[in-house]
Each structure stands twice: as structure tokens, then as C-alpha cells.
Amino acid sequence: MTIVADGIRYALGGFAGGLLTAWLTGVPLTAVPFFVFALFCLWFFRDPERTIPDGPVAVSPADGKVMAVKPESGRTRISIFLNVFDVHVNRTPVGGTITSVQYKPGDFLVASKEVASSQNEQNVVTVRLQDGVEVTFRQIAGLIARRIVFNRQEGETLRMGERIGMMKFGSRMDVLLGPEWNVVVNPGERVIAGTSLLARRKDVA
């Protein structure tokens, strides 16, 4: 399984810190917390391969639990909460061209709360499909997750389910879908990034 580079760096730091602490104190057991932290980082920053479905669909951009499916400004918002045990690598829900990337500063409220969609720090990305339909998704920081990573740029073309970044240590993702979509997911369901379907196009066979 692939490990995100940040996780490898954190793990190396943990192992080095443990060895140094054990050497300075002369007590090998003092290294144990550092080694546990290092192993946790390797596990947390895992990046498994996913099987991306075909067809006119939108897939989940994140592993997690669907917290809400509700209307917002003429579209349907699907909110997904990632806990600390979920894979935190994010993927684009649809394929197309990135037309907008907007960083919005904000609070660091608990990401599972409804208010986090509007008040928390977030990165808002819009992707335009070949037929002109646009889908927007938000990477939203949480109480612990205070670093949003987005490694794509406006103008880039993405394939559905392609990796676009990650959020560290618990967070939230919202997907905004227009009336062209028939949502097939419900609150309470667990979804997997790049694999689980969120919606199907109504007007495309």
C-alpha cells in the first residue's frame, strides 16, 4: 500500500525522536511513545488504490460517513465526515476541468456539525464536465484537522476519482450537485472515496 510522503516524514521523525530519547535517557522504554506515533502516521497516511466506476456518475471524494443530504442554493449538498480512522486522501467526484479554486478562512469547529459547512476554514473547488455541467466540492477543516492539502491547479483536467489532495486528522467534505443529478446516497451511509456512488446523471444514458 502506498503511503503519502508526509506520513513517511512524520514517521521518520518519530522513530528518530524515539532513538534519540532512549539514547539520552538510557531507558529504552522512553522510545515507545515515539514509535507508536510513527506507526500511527504510517497507518493514517495510507493511500490505497481504488476501483473507479464507469458511467455518468459522481463518486464520493472521501472515505467517511454521510452526515447530510439537503438543499443548498438550488443544489443538493452531500456532506461527508471523516473521522481520524478514515483514509484522508481526497479524490475528485467527477471528471472535468477545474474552473475555480477558492480558499476561505474560517473557524475550526467540530467538522461533524452542520454549521461547519459554512463557518469552517475550507477550500472550494469547481469542476466543469465536458457538457458544461459544474460540480463543486469543499475540503473543510475540523477541530483537529487544520491543514488542507490541494495539489491541483485551476485549468487542470481531472479524471473521475483522481487524487486531488488530502486533509489531516479528521475533517469534512461537501459535494454540491445541481438538478442534473439523481442522488443515490442517504444520511448515515458509509462511503469510500473514488468507489462509492453519490449520484447518477438524469439526462445522460
The SS3 of residue 28 is helix
CA distances from 119 to 17, 107, 110 (A): 37, 6, 11
C-alpha cell at 158: 481531472
What pLDDT is stored for residue 149 in this prediction?
A: 87
Q: What is the pLDDT of residue 84?
A: 82
DSSP state for residue 168 in the 8-state scheme: S
Which residue among the candidates 79, 112, 171, 196 is catalytic per the annotation?
Answer: 171
C-alpha cell at 86: 478514515
* Residue labelled with grid coordinates 483537529: 144
Burial environment of residue 137 by CB neighbours within 10 A (0 to 12, 13 to 18, 19 or more): buried
Delimit the domains of the chain by residue range: 2-47, 57-201
Architecture of domain 57-201: Distorted Sandwich (2.70)
pLDDT digits (tens, 9 = 90+) for 51-82: 999 999 999 999 999 999 999 999 999 999 99
In the Cβ-directed half-sphere of 128, how many Cα atoms lie within 13 Å? Answer: 11
Give the pLDDT confidence score for residue 147 in this predicted structure. Answer: 76
The pLDDT value given to residue 163: 95
From the CB of residue 111, how many other CB atoms can be counted at a distance below 10 Å? 26
Instruction: Give the Cα separation of 204 and 143 in Å (integer).
Output: 40
Mean pLDDT by 10 residues, the chain (205 residues): 80 87 89 88 86 94 96 96 89 97 86 82 94 95 76 95 85 94 97 97 79
Residue 159: count other Cβ atoms within 10 Å of its Cβ: 12
Name the pTM for this structure.
0.88
For residue 171, indicate whether it is catalytic: yes
Task: State how far the Cα of 105 lies from the Cα of 10, in Å rounded to an integer.
Answer: 26
